[in-house]
Structure 1
Amino acid sequence: MPPKHGPWRAQVVLHDVAERQIDAMNDADREILDAAIVRLSLDHRIGARGDGKLEWEYRDDRVRIVYIPTVIGTIVLVAYVEVG
């Protein structure tokens, strides 16, 4: 019997700008952001396509993430994050 595992996830890669933003956050904000990044890794189409052709934007009540998914969605490059 094959092993059971969780749902497939994309690999999330942080741009230098996003890494600096996360480094400046407190632990509570990082937890909120982490949950949003997990949702994004499970389905990169939960955001909306930006005005440009490459970038997408995900927003909820507390988080904004600007990202670029690969064509087949296996890698998501996070370019910018906000928690507030």
Structure 2
Amino acid sequence: MAAFTFTDFKAIVTACGVDEAETAALGDSALDSKFDDLGYDSLLVYEIVMRVQDDYPVTVPDEELNELNTPGELITYVNSQLTGA
């Protein structure tokens, strides 16, 4: 399976109801921004992860999710699971 990219992340965020223009405006610096700083509450982050799990053959246990604080950390985690799958 192909890698999970920042573009894929942004598409999922848009599918979760975040304004498309707002999501499109996310630059590479957002990779290291905390979800809270991006305005993503825990419910939105949970929904993003659920959609990732629906679209990719990965599982993100709750205890792991609690340690993933930025889009970059989530992307890295998903890709590590994909390469191990």
TM-score range, shorter chain: under 0.3
Structure with greater proportional helix content: 2
Q: Give me the TM-score of the superposition, normalised by structure 1.
A: 0.27
Q: Which has the larger radius of gyration?
A: 1
Structure with greater proportional strand content: 1
Larger RCO (CA under 8 A, 6+ residues apart): 2
